[in-house]
Amino acid sequence: MTTLYLVRHGETVDNARQIMQGQTQGELNENGIRQAEEVSREWASKPLDAIIASDLKRSIDTAKIIAEPHQLEVLTTPLLRERDWGSFTGRYIPELKGEVWPDDIETLENLLSRAGEFIAYVKETFPGKKVLAVGHGIINKAVQAVYYGKSMSEIQRMTNAEVRILEL
């Protein structure tokens, strides 16, 4: 059985400003770096066989901090990218309430499909291993929705640098 430790990246400048980041690179703020360092300390003595991150900077930076004591290379995959928020990207989140969603937002169907592909990738590539994967709030929610066979709304939102464990 493969164990997946699913992590949300540390807090970013845009998280703190309530800006919709989507698939922008993002930059960890001081708090986000501290959060990643805390996870790194907590997980330093736990066995990990692989560390994967979304190919977006905020996840890669978080994963590199966590990977340091394990001396593992951080692998990246676009499957773990955050949802593409289209023309909502870069907008102030509280202002989006009640707005009609534009057609350029990644569909829920595509998001859940990517989540399923990510789970399959981990199972096939790392059978029986312990894998820590750093993703984003919405894609991590989608991974869990697929894993548990639930709707996205039934999955509790992950906080920055939170870790959840899935046995694949």
List the catalytic residue out of 9, 11, 70, 136. Answer: 9
- Residues 6+ away with beta carbon under 8 Å from 158: 6, 8, 137, 140, 141, 164
With 0-12 CB in 10 A as exposed, 13-18 as middle and 19+ as buried, what is 81?
buried
From the list 93, 49, 56, the residue with the least C-alpha distance to 72 is: 49
From the list 29, 141, 7, 22, the residue with the least C-alpha distance to 74 is: 7
With 0-12 CB in 10 A as exposed, 13-18 as middle and 19+ as buried, what is 59?
buried
Concerning whether 162 is annotated as a catalytic residue, the answer is no
Residues written for the chain = 168
List the catalytic residue out of 11, 70, 82, 106. Answer: 82
Based on its alpha-carbon atoms, the radius of gyration of the chain, rounded to whole angstroms, reads 15
Concerning whether 9 is annotated as a catalytic residue, the answer is yes
- Give the phi and the psi of residue 29 in degrees, each rounded to 5: -90, 180
Active-site residues: which are they? 9, 82
